[in-house]
Structure 1
Amino acid sequence: MTTELSPDALSGLLDRARQDYEALVGRGLSLDLTRGKPAPEQLDLSGELLALPGTRFSAADGTDVRNYGGLHGLPELREIFAEVLQVPVAQLLAAGNSSLELMHDCLVHALLSVVPGAESRWVEQERIAFLCPVPGYDRHFALCERFGIDMIPVPMTPEGPDMDAVERLVAEDPSVKGIWCVPKYSNPDGVSYSDATVARLAAMPTAAPDFRIFWDNAYAVHHLTDEPVEIADLLGACADAGHPDRAFVFGSTSKITAAGAGVAFFGSSPANVTWLLANNAKRSIGPDKINQLRHVLFLKDADGVRAHMEGQRALLQPKFEAVARILDAELGGTGLATWTSPRGGYFVTLQVPDGCAKEVVRRAAEAGIVLTPAGATHPYGDDPRDAVIRIAPSYPGLAELEQAIEGLAVCVRLVGYEQRAR
């Protein structure tokens, strides 16, 4: 990342960066790039949901969606998303609006009840650990912290997690019970797992007989190009490799329709589905089937999902293009940063010189540009290199986003040249 500069050239660049930063602070901006949530225009694409289901309250099988029951979720909705999430309909559950809630519940149930293949409840074991590909999703890490699960960072590669490290760790340590995976357009790098990575995850020997892959397929249909990425079927690969219970598959409509009123999904082996249903029956008499019926009537089928996501792409793609264009114009050739160019998903990862990320985020906040805290992409909020910054382009309007990225680039130049001048 380093570009050699003479002392005079560096001094001039630092003076210019300081002047640009003073001007930036003087603009009195108030911009927020902290979270990858849909913009109002994206939510408007699903406005018709609010008028559904009208006077219809019967599912395809005659179920009265206004009443109790139906822990599996509506069959017709599960049929739509079985293809999207690569899970057989009979092994897919449709639940409430949050896949994070399902992940939380799976951890709680594993701690308090014996998962298929386990010798005891996780809470009875001396230590529980999860592998955490980094950079990764802060809410996954927060769940582990909440329940006292140790986190072991594993580097990400262009094909997914470093599988040599993963295979070694799961083979030698029975306390390693799981791994967090965002397999398509991962948060925050945008990496999609290769077929070879999926095959190795499915087949690898594990010291823990109850090892689970938490497969958070949050961006399954969130493409940003004309060439959608397709990933291998993990659930099928696990079954073929003789580990049918290994995968917990999660997904939702949260970034497809209404983020606060979507539908979440869980898919796994028949044994795992039975296990989750038995535990969930003690906390719920059934999901919001009216909302599920809304989604059936609105989306209609898997092709309807893909058509709807083209509307989402039309709104998101210009924002991601703007981020790339501005970063290239402001930071290209400086040696101060590299950044990802994702083919889908919701984030761009910006890498700055080691030891600079926290200071860049602090300077940006002082200038009125709020970013996700540096370190959030790593377990315990600790990026050992202090180099990764997550950019969430989705929510701001295009003009606001451009101002924010231009301002962020100013902060990168200021902090980067200050470090070089020391």
Structure 2
Amino acid sequence: MGPVRVRSDAEHPRPLLDLPGEAGHTARDGTDTRNYGGLRGLSELRAAFSEALQVPVDQLVAFGNSSLELMYEALVDAVLFGLPGGSAPWPREGRTAMLCPVPGYDRRFAVCEKLGIDMIPVAMTADGPDMDEVERLAADERVKGIWCVPKYSNPTGAVYTPETVRRLAAMETAARDFRVFWDNAYAVHHLGEGAPRLADILSLSAGHGHPDRVFVFGSTSKITMAGSGVAFFGSSHANVSWLLGHLSKRTIGPDKVNQLRHVRFLPDAEAVRAHMERHAELLRPRFELVHTVLDKRLGGSGVASWTRPRGGYFVSLDVLDVLDGCAARVVELAKEAGIALTPAGATFPYGKDPRDRNIRIAPTYPGRDELGDALEGLALCVELAAAERLLAAGRPA
């Protein structure tokens, strides 16, 4: 949203870039990180993030710079080779589908579309996806999995309740190789005190007789640097061996120098928590500004509603509660005013929001002054689009 002022390193020094530094390139176990090998990633880095991702160290893999890369890898390997517990590569069994809680994350939807995997929308609630609908749809053998952002879901900010997590772990599915793609992207991205703790879906799934059900993903993309971070994959021993078997055919090992840089910057779980508290100090005022402006301009008007997340990176805005069909017009008006918004429909499979209502707001990107101006402009665009729509429907604006 809005123009962005680029800040220099002199204003905001980044000590991460100075590492590994004079301490050298040798990891704790004696590994020369400049060399080949070490497909699982550095054990000390996996230990630092094991607690946040709720995955035992020996079941966690640290790999490239993007969790999306690992999600793509997992889906491609399922399509080409099949999954543990399955009988064949996915397409060999006919059309396959993934359940997609909406509104959701467009890049995951794009991966499914690229690979020819059908997408079935499922409504998000404040507690997570509509589990009655999830359980009903999972009885169809072509449904192979579900996308989940369990904490501060993108873009609504919802946190899955213990009961939602339990039902995902315990439910019966027609597909024996059904997978929960557990994208815990915002595991430590709290905005205030009293951070919620997720139920441990890996342990719950194993306890309900589905040890291979869950693929856990995470990364440091919004912890350190977006394009130069580290990604994680966690699952059962069988699933980890399956993934490593495929990764080993395309690489001899990850960038362990970057992993060493990260573990020296964030050596343990306590360091990660302290670092993210500083993140919250920077981001909390931006989210407060969103609510202040929208409350002032749109509160009580009936033309919009929005989420108030306790963490994560987004606010989900629904425009015109009384009539559908305004989001695309809001985005169009905003563009004419010089305000960049996520395209309308991006939070739904195939880019099609059936009610044309939802817009994802990312208040973390622009500078604070630019954010305030952009929010005022956005509110005006919402009011104008709503007035147009109401007048066209013959209702008072």
Query: Are 1:31 and 2:2 counterparts?
Result: yes
Q: SS at 1:370's partner residue?
A: coil
Inter-CA distance 44–383: structure 2 relative to 1 (3 Å threshold): farther
Query: Are 1:58 and 2:29 counterparts?
Result: no
Q: SS at 2:359's partner residue?
A: strand
Greater shift, 234-243 or 412-421, is seen at 412-421
Inter-CA distance 57–108: structure 2 relative to 1 (3 Å threshold): same
The amino acid across from 2:59 in the alignment is Q
Which of the numbers 30, 39, 42 marks the counterpart of 1:71?
Answer: 39
CA contact (8 A) 1:45 1:311 kept: no
1:359 CA drift (Å): 0.4
- The aligned residue for residue 381 of structure 1 is 351
1:162 CA drift (Å): 0.2
How many residues are treated as equivalent by the alignment? 388
Query: Are 1:198 and 2:198 counterparts?
Result: no
Inter-CA distance 40–379: structure 2 relative to 1 (3 Å threshold): farther
CA contact (8 A) 1:42 1:315 kept: no
Identity of aligned residues (%): 63
- The aligned residue for residue 85 of structure 2 is 117
CA contact (8 A) 1:136 1:378 kept: yes
Superposed structure 1 runs of 4+ greater than 3 Å apart = 38-46
The amino acid across from 1:312 in the alignment is H
CA distance in 1, matches of 2:162, 2:9: 31
CA contact (8 A) 2:45 2:260 kept: yes
- The aligned residue for residue 302 of structure 1 is 269
- Residues 200-225 of structure 1 deviation map (CA, whole Å, 9 limit, x = unaligned): 00000000000000000000000011
- The aligned residue for residue 271 of structure 1 is 238
CA distance in 2, matches of 1:46, 1:215: 34
- Residues 110-147 of structure 1 deviation map (CA, whole Å, 9 limit, x = unaligned): 11113110000113121110000000000010000000
Q: SS at 2:373's partner residue?
A: helix
- Residues 239-285 of structure 1 deviation map (CA, whole Å, 9 limit, x = unaligned): 11110000000000110011111000000000000000000000110
CA contact (8 A) 1:42 1:312 kept: no
CA distance in 1, matches of 2:159, 2:199: 10
Query: Are 1:157 and 2:114 counterparts?
Result: no
- Residues 335-389 of structure 1 deviation map (CA, whole Å, 9 limit, x = unaligned): 1111110000000011112110000110110111110000000000010010101
- Residues 132-178 of structure 1 deviation map (CA, whole Å, 9 limit, x = unaligned): 0000000010000000100000000110000000001002x111001
- Aligned residue runs from structure 1 range 16-415, under 5 A: 31=2, 47-55=14-22, 56-171=24-139, 173-353=140-320, 354-415=324-385
Query: Under a length normalisation based on structure 1, what TM-score does the superposition of the two structures give?
Result: 0.90
The amino acid across from 1:359 in the alignment is R
Q: Unaligned 5+ residue runs, structure 1?
A: 1-29
CA distance in 1, matches of 2:9, 2:363: 13
Q: SS at 1:287's partner residue?
A: coil
CA contact (8 A) 2:84 2:212 kept: yes
CA contact (8 A) 1:342 1:348 kept: yes
Q: SS at 1:177's partner residue?
A: strand
The Cα RMSD (Å) is 1.7
Q: SS at 1:250's partner residue?
A: strand
CA distance in 1, matches of 2:119, 2:46: 33
Inter-CA distance 233–260: structure 2 relative to 1 (3 Å threshold): same
CA distance in 2, matches of 1:228, 1:138: 26
CA distance in 2, matches of 1:297, 1:327: 41
Inter-CA distance 288–224: structure 2 relative to 1 (3 Å threshold): same
The amino acid across from 1:361 in the alignment is V
- Residues 304-327 of structure 1 deviation map (CA, whole Å, 9 limit, x = unaligned): 000000111111100000000000
The amino acid across from 2:112 in the alignment is C
Inter-CA distance 111–32: structure 2 relative to 1 (3 Å threshold): farther
1:44 CA drift (Å): 7.9
The amino acid across from 2:39 in the alignment is L
CA distance in 1, matches of 2:176, 2:79: 15
The amino acid across from 2:93 in the alignment is Q
Q: Unaligned 5+ residue runs, structure 2?
A: 393-397
Q: SS at 1:300's partner residue?
A: coil
Q: SS at 2:317's partner residue?
A: strand
The amino acid across from 2:252 in the alignment is I
The amino acid across from 2:88 in the alignment is S
CA distance in 1, matches of 2:83, 2:130: 27
1:39 CA drift (Å): 8.3
Inter-CA distance 32–382: structure 2 relative to 1 (3 Å threshold): farther
1:45 CA drift (Å): 6.7
CA distance in 2, matches of 1:143, 1:226: 35
1:32 CA drift (Å): 5.4
Query: Under a length normalisation based on structure 2, what TM-score does the superposition of the two structures give?
Result: 0.95
